[in-house]
């Protein structure tokens, strides 16, 4: 079992058993695991963080109508399946890196409002972006959760076939 498989199995156990799971008790009853794309080593990228474009602060709306301010940290440029792509990297309220994004599969194979990553900062002004760890925000499972919505600048035309797929509730 790979490190990613172990991580995913632990996440599935958390969703099924933990009291802080985003799933309701009814959802947990029939839960058999999240759906994931197969691991894709080509979507584990070490990228330079270029200077951010636009205003230093962006106000992101949430799924429940609130808004939060995020600081633009930088721009990430990369290629997927021969297509160039760029994403804006943000700092969250705790100072960690936050990368909300929506890809070309949003609404069909991935959550329509986008997925999240927490990139790892590296020395030399670089960051590790592992799309295999891309996950759905909790509001994808339960409307009671409030989640920042992916800003327009982080909506990609390319498909990112890595990480979590769209959640399908079990049929009763």
Series of mean pLDDT values for 10-residue runs along the chain (172 residues): 93 95 92 95 97 90 91 96 96 88 95 95 96 96 91 96 86 44
Residue 69 and residue 149 in one domain: yes
Q: Assess if residue 162 is contained within a domain.
A: no
Distance CA 8, CA 61 (A): 29
Residue 26 and residue 72 in one domain: no
Count CB neighbours of 6 within 10 A: 10
Domain span holding position 11:
1-34
pLDDT score for 169: 59
Residue 26 and residue 73 in one domain: no
- How far from 14 is each of 10, 25, 130, 162, 171, CA to CA, in Å? 6, 13, 21, 21, 21
Q: Please, what is the Cα angle at 113 between 52 and 86, to 5 degrees?
A: 30
Distance CA 84, CA 70 (A): 25
pLDDT score for 170: 52
Q: Assess if residue 109 is contained within a domain.
A: yes
Count CB neighbours of 121 within 10 A: 13
Q: Assess if residue 7 is contained within a domain.
A: yes
Q: Assess if residue 161 is contained within a domain.
A: no
- Tell me the CA end-to-end span of the chain in Å, nearest whole number: 31
Residue 123 and residue 57 in one domain: yes
On whether the CB atoms of residues 2 and 17 are closer than 8 A, the answer is no
Residue 129 and residue 55 in one domain: yes
Residue 48 and residue 81 in one domain: yes
Residue 75 and residue 108 in one domain: yes
Distance CA 125, CA 49 (A): 6
User: The pTM is what?
Assistant: 0.92
Q: Assess if residue 63 is contained within a domain.
A: yes
């Amino acid at each position: 079992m790979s490190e990613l498989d172990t991580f995913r199995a632990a996440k599935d156990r958390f969703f099924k058993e933990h009291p802080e799971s985003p799933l309701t008790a009814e959802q947990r009853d029939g839960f058999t695991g999240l759906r994931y794309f197969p691991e894709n080593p080509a979507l584990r990228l070490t990228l330079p963080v270029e200077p951010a474009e636009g205003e230093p602060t962006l106000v992101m709306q949430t799924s429940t109508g609130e808004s939060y301010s995020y600081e633009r940290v930088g721009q990430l440029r990369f290629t997927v399946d021969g297509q160039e792509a760029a994403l804006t990297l943000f700092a969250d309220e705790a100072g960690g890196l936050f990368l909300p994004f929506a890809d070309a599969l949003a609404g069909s194979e991935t959550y329509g409002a986008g997925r999240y990553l927490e990139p790892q900062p590296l020395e030399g002004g670089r960051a590790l972006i592992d799309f295999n760890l891309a996950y759905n925000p909790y509001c994808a499972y339960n409307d009671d959760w409030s989640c920042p919505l992916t800003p327009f600048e982080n909506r990609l035309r390319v498909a990112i076939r890595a990480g979590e797929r769209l959640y399908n509730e079990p049929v009763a």
